[in-house]
Amino acid sequence: MKRSITHTIFLVAFFLISTFKSPITSQDKDKFVVVLDAGHGGHDPGNRGNGYKEKEIALKVVLTVGAALEKDGRFKVVYTRKTDKFIELHERGSIANKAGADLFVSVHCNSHRSQASGTETFVLGLHANDENFNVAKNENSVILLEDNYEANYDGFDPNSPESIIGLTLMQEEYLDQSLTLASFVQNRFKKTLERKSRGVKQAGFVVLHQTYMPSILIELGFLTNNNEGKYLNSKKGQDNMAKSITTSIIDYKESLDAVYKVHQPKKTELTKITTQTIEEGANKEITYRVQISAGSSDIELQSFNFKGLDQLSKIKKGELFKYFFGNTPNYTLAQELREVAASKGFGSSFVVAFRNNELIPLTEALKANESSN
């Protein structure tokens, strides 16, 4: 009897965790490992809108991102391919797992029968509509070019919506982090490059379900759109998109630094900060957070109480509790975190400033930072 897709996924998960997760060398153990995946390659050109080749554009952007990150001593970069080579989808995930990666970023270009345009960034999940499913189906169809795809994917059918359901289980643990990075990428495309944004979306991509870390798939734009295709095929366009992705990855890493380098202050004074996510040494400098709500109720700092946000803190002033998301000395990053909060449903959230764990006027903080630069 044929095994179910769900049963197979759990078996594959156990196999990958126990076999492919290799230790990081002592030289790189403190580095943030990013796996960069240029879509398609070799005898798989990807889409060829307006005569351009997706595989070539994706590779050029990935190599530019990688070169920039490699200059930053905090990062170790691993590539699924650096040349025009065909890499099977399951191998791409294995490369990331073997590297013990902190992030997996896959880069592609879109196509459509119309003059559709715009960037979009996907995380693994159930497609919300036929359009998202079709994007995933196009990218997943590459498995049909593999010699032994029936065995490699145990009956997965890229044309079947039902096959997608089982894929989501393996990335569920990393969904919030993947969504955060995807939001950083899309916000920067829109605000810095003024590219049309089609938003952050969820769909069932095989290449994402193979990985055990936060993972995103970026569609740089539509090669089938006359203007956008020309832009993405140009060195200027590729350099701009690469710079934007690089900055987003750095911002994401710095947001994690603000979360995981923590200390737990004593709870003896109610006016002091109580938090799960305060950056070590934050009381010695000005930092920024995003105020997401306030009220008389004392709410437990758990992500399920705040629509999936997990970088939480709160203070009590009198009878009022104020709740915050994120903690960073970087005001620009705080603005990006506010966008993440807004995308989760906290549309009225705003950036606030702290000095020595005490709220101060935002204008005062910005002036102080300006004078110190």
Give the model's pLDDT for residue 58.
Answer: 97
Give the model's pLDDT for residue 268.
Answer: 33
Give the model's pLDDT for residue 109.
Answer: 96
Q: In which residue ranges of the chain is CATH 3.40.630.40 found?
A: 5-257
Give the model's pLDDT for residue 262.
Answer: 35
Give the model's pLDDT for residue 204.
Answer: 57
Phi and psi (nearest 5°) for 289? Answer: -135, 170
Kindly give the residue spans of alpha helices, DSSP state H, lying in the chain. 5-19, 54-70, 89-98, 130-140, 149-153, 161-167, 175-191, 206-209, 226-232, 235-260, 331-343, 362-372
- Find all residues with CB under 8 Å of 279, minimum gap 6, and list them: 257, 258, 259, 261, 262, 287, 327, 328, 329
Can you give the pLDDT of all 373 residues of the chain as single tens digits? 333 333 333 333 333 333 334 444 545 668 999 999 999 999 989 999 999 999 999 999 999 999 999 999 999 999 999 999 988 877 888 898 889 899 999 999 999 999 999 999 988 754 444 444 454 445 544 444 455 544 444 444 545 544 444 444 444 567 778 888 888 999 999 999 999 999 888 765 555 556 778 889 999 999 999 999 999 999 999 999 999 999 999 988 887 776 544 333 333 333 333 333 333 333 358 888 998 888 778 888 888 888 888 789 998 877 788 899 988 888 888 888 888 888 888 887 888 889 888 888 887 888 776 666 5
Amino acid residing at 248: S
Which is nearest to 211 in space by CA: 167, 254, 179?
A: 167
Q: In which residue ranges of the chain is CATH 3.30.70.1070 found?
A: 262-372
Q: How far apart are CA 206 and CA 193, in angstroms?
A: 29
- Find all residues with CB under 8 Å of 144, minimum gap 6, and list them: 158
CATH number of 5-257: 3.40.630.40
**Which strand (E) or helix (H) includes residue 288?**
strand 286-295
Q: How far apart are CA 373 and CA 371, in angstroms?
A: 6
Give the model's pLDDT for residue 228.
Answer: 98
Q: At 174, is the secondary structure helix, strand, or coil?
A: helix
CATH number of 262-372: 3.30.70.1070
